Structure 1
Amino acid sequence: MQNGINRRSFLKALGGLAGVAAAGAFLNREEILSFLDRDKAAEEAGETMGQVTRRYFAPLGQELPILGFGCMRFPTKFSTSGREIDAELSEKMIDFAYRHGINYFDTAWFYHDGKSESFVGGVLKKYPRESFFLADKMPTPMLTDLSQAKEIFQTQLERCQVAYFDTYMLHSLSSQEEFVRLYIDQGILDYLREEKAQGRIRSLGFSFHGDVPFFYHLMDQYPWDFCMIQLNYADWNEPGEAPSGSRQAGDLYRKCREKDVPIFVMEPVKGGNLASLSESAESILKAQRPDASMASWALRWVGSLDGVITLNSGMSNLEQVLDNVQTMMDFEPLSTAEARAIQQTLGKASDSGALPCTYCRYCDPCPYGVDIASVFRIYKRYGEAAGLDLEYPERASARQKEAFLAHYKNNLERSQRASHCTACGTCLPRCPQHIDIPKEIRAIDDLVQRLSRETGKEVL
């Protein structure tokens, strides 16, 4: 940072542009690209505007950024082959993050229909390898045996165009039976330890989506360099409070601290669910910090916990990147009064009854082609925002109903819509949030068909 004026101007820009999202008026693509180009030009002119806070990660002997870039929700666009990563915009967002100290990138085999690893590797190739940290994962849900795991790992290195991964995870561990069958009996865990010994993995851990007893088994029986858990204030349970659904984060966190295992975090904003709260909940937090976004409260709550190294945020637009950078630059832990304010919101944060989907896409692929995450996202973003209610859709105006149907039709291919769900149940065991997906998908389809009849706007 060369001078305070530059930094103040930058923070003002961050706050102003991030506030656009809070007001619901998103920047258009040209404005976003222009801002990112100006930021790059400022750096090239020697105006270093500030970096996110960093924390020491003992297994690597290095400091990592408190905020990591989750590479599962890049901005996308339609092409002749369907929806794909918006390569130009996504690359500029990665570059912006890198310039401001976010040099930890988390990708996986499944992200963006298998295209995330190659895209991220291609973008990061222009930077010195030692200047960034790259995380990847062994795709547990598709594993069958050791030979397949070896082929996958080699393919991941090739896709990412690197000789090693800084952090590598057993992805989405959800059941002890599956873990033992694949990683122990098939020898895949021993193989990954061998890769670590050879330097192609610098630190080895796992990401978790199972229950508390299974987590305790993993932590008690095996050594790990780190683990990644879903951790946010909505999923927290206090000591002695029985876990329920995804509300088990407190138990997982306390076990990590007991074992002194460094913590990486996924879903700190619960897939965006904590970025928009009920009016009563938001009023409590705004009384403390009128200009702070709801997402910044969620990030600061997680970042204030001891033992947390890096929070991964799947940032899908510039507004999210700006707000997150502003929050994590010169990171300020929650005060006692602020922590108490979050506690006060917990009884009010679920007033809307919103779907808890985090759009992680672990439910993919649907054997019948339904784009489950997009159906949920469209309902949440456009349906709930328009005042539509699954039980009382008649309360919405004709204009709101037509607007929702237009968004639904324009953002989903016909084969991806909820009407194609057969309630086969394939998705159910994959959902980390324990959502009754077939039930919710059917309810949304019923809503779509009802609105279609009422408005005369056909949606198949």
Structure 2
Amino acid sequence: MKKLGFGLMRLPLANDDFSHPDKAQLCDMVDLFLAKGFPYFDTAWFYHNGQSEAAVKECLVERYPRSAFLLADKMPLVLIRKESELEEYFSAQLARCGVDYFDYYLIHDMGGNRRKAAEDTHVFAFLSEKKKAGLVKQIGFSFHDTADVLDGILTEHPEVDFVQIQLNYLDWENDTIQSRKCYETAKKHGKPVIVMEPVKGGTLANIPQEAENLFRTYHPDLSVASWAIRFAASHENVMLVLSGMSTLEQVKDNLSYMENFSPFTGEEYGLVQKAAEIINGSIAIPCTECAYCINKCPKDIAIPKYFALYNADMRELGTKAWTAQTMLYRHFSEQFGKASDCIGCGQCETMCPQHIHIREWLKKVAARFEGTL
């Protein structure tokens, strides 16, 4: 299997509405992806407010024979309150996707409190039975936590076939995300790795000019994003790198260097290390815009949008009297709750894969943008 997978978390949108993927454009993207020999598609219950699975059914499943693609989905463990609900959600996902089985099926986010929930609901045993019945071909879990926690789970559950972790050159040595340590832990247990967030939600496609110049000088014809995806794919125990593609142009770019993939050289590893040092010095909030936090916000605060604006604004010259980010914040605050509307409940932080102190950052966002509202 080629090392690039289609992540269906950041699809093109119709009328800029997160709940309404642009299915016409998605069909074109799916067609090209499959035509170039890339069969892997990854969705989940939560993506696009529950509409990603429906988009998969319409744009992929109903248009191609089942043998033409590999489909991955995930058990939304955070929603499960009792063991009997596992069957309800699994059956619902088969129906939502329009398939009789999943090629790859994961427990969604086995970090934090989800580990206890997994044991209480016996979800590993449940998935093992589905595998025996042929309803799942490979079982695994996605993971956002520390390497020692991952080591514990893999020690207790050697029956899993693979793990899905966040891995990119910016987080490779990050003490919170621990990309390298988690990768090495999976390798120690003999579990192939599927990579998520290789471009860190687009962060590594829009890097400071100084870092971009490093890449352009070495490979003038390769996109900035290609460095992030090739870095992840170059590790020997990585079986697949997921890319959340939002446009046909992004699909074409990814295919241009992954169709005949060339692993990193030693010099290239050195360049991304230098780039990471530059980027880390310019990013204020390490948000990947996964939007999990929004699902739990009682005030409907557009947290990822505000964090992206804040990061962009922090890169602006301090002498500027007005920035485009200020205008955008004004527009967003008319549709959603303002940063200052935060009541400090902390529900967003329980959902954040990046372990961001969201409440504290919202105070800084409010201080930066709301003086002109």
TM over 0.5: yes
Change (3 A) 1:446 1:144: same
Q: Structure 1 counterpart of 2:320, which letter?
A: A
In the other structure, the counterpart of 1:66 is: 3
In the other structure, the counterpart of 2:77 is: 140
Q: 3-state DSSP class of the match of 1:173?
A: coil
- Structure 1 residue ranges without an equivalent (≥5): 1-63, 238-242, 453-458
Residue 380 (structure 1) shift: 4.2
Change (3 A) 1:172 1:96: same
Q: Structure 1 counterpart of 2:79, which letter?
A: M
Q: 3-state DSSP class of the match of 1:330?
A: coil
1:155 lines up with 2:92 in the alignment: yes
Q: 3-state DSSP class of the match of 2:222?
A: coil
1:129 lines up with 2:66 in the alignment: yes
Report the TM-score when normalising by structure 1. 0.76
1:96 lines up with 2:32 in the alignment: yes
In the other structure, the counterpart of 1:41 is: none
> Which of residues 132, 139, 143 is equivalent to 1:197?
132
CA offsets, 1:66-123, max 9 Å, x none? 11111110111338x8852222222222222222223211000000001111111121
> Which of residues 145, 153, 168 is equivalent to 1:232?
168
CA-based RMSD of the aligned residues comes to 2.1
1:329 lines up with 2:264 in the alignment: no
Q: Is the 8 A contact 1:93 1:318 kept in 2?
A: yes
In the other structure, the counterpart of 2:192 is: 262
Q: 3-state DSSP class of the match of 1:172?
A: coil
Q: Distance in 2 between matches of 1:410 and 1:85?
A: 22
1:367 lines up with 2:298 in the alignment: yes
Q: Distance in 2 between matches of 1:310 and 1:407?
A: 36
Q: Structure 1 counterpart of 2:325, which letter?
A: F
1:427 lines up with 2:364 in the alignment: no
- Structure 2 residue ranges without an equivalent (≥5): none
In the other structure, the counterpart of 1:105 is: 41
Change (3 A) 1:348 1:338: same
1:295 lines up with 2:230 in the alignment: no
Q: Distance in 2 between matches of 1:372 and 1:280?
A: 28
Residue 183 (structure 1) shift: 2.4
Q: Distance in 2 between matches of 1:102 and 1:92?
A: 14
Q: 3-state DSSP class of the match of 2:235?
A: coil
Residue 318 (structure 1) shift: 2.7
Q: Distance in 2 between matches of 1:150 and 1:374?
A: 35
Residue 355 (structure 1) shift: 2.3
Q: Structure 2 counterpart of 1:439, which letter?
A: E
CA offsets, 1:180-229, max 9 Å, x none? 3x322322221111111111111000000122221001111212111100
**Residues 396-407 of structure 1 mapped to structure 2, 5 A cutoff:** 396-398=320-322, 401=323, 403-407=324-328
Q: Distance in 1 between matches of 2:357 and 2:115?
A: 24
The structure number with the bigger radius of gyration is 1
Q: Distance in 2 between matches of 1:194 and 1:231?
A: 30
Report the TM-score when normalising by structure 2. 0.92
Change (3 A) 1:166 1:380: same
Q: State the 4+ residue runs in structure 1 displaced beyond 6 angstroms.
A: none
Change (3 A) 1:170 1:317: same
Q: How many residues align?
A: 370
> Which of residues 119, 125, 141 is equivalent to 1:184?
119
Q: Is the 8 A contact 1:278 1:350 kept in 2?
A: no
Change (3 A) 1:413 1:77: farther
Residue 378 (structure 1) shift: 4.0
CA offsets, 1:119-160, max 9 Å, x none? 111211210001100000001222111111110000000000
Q: Is the 8 A contact 2:43 2:53 kept in 1?
A: yes
Provide the identity percentage.
37
Between 361-370 and 308-317, the greater mean CA deviation after superposition:
361-370
CA offsets, 1:245-296, max 9 Å, x none? 11x1111111222222111000011111111222322222222112322211
